[in-house]
Amino acid sequence: MRIAKKDVPVRMNAPGAVVRQQMNFGDATGYGTIGAEYFSLSAGVDIASLLRG
């Protein structure tokens, strides 16, 4: 299955970062539905605070 990046809905659009997420666009028989995420980050964007546990 394929889906073009431009067809994946934008969930967050911030300066230097775009997050796209598409849920339930396919079926992985026996495992459930397939979803996808695509992150675009500009050079120098610091996401360290998002990764703290």
In a domain, 50, yes or no: no
In a domain, 49, yes or no: no
In a domain, 51, yes or no: no
Q: How many domains does the chain have?
A: 1
A 10 A CB-CB count for 25 gives 14
In a domain, 15, yes or no: yes
| Amino acid at site 35 | G
Task: In whole angstroms, give the CA distance from residue 17 to residue 51.
Answer: 15
Residue 19: give the domain boundaries: 5-42
Can you give the pLDDT at residue 1? Answer: 64
Tell me the pLDDT tens digit for each residue of 3-52: 888 889 999 898 888 999 999 888 888 898 888 899 999 999 888 887 88
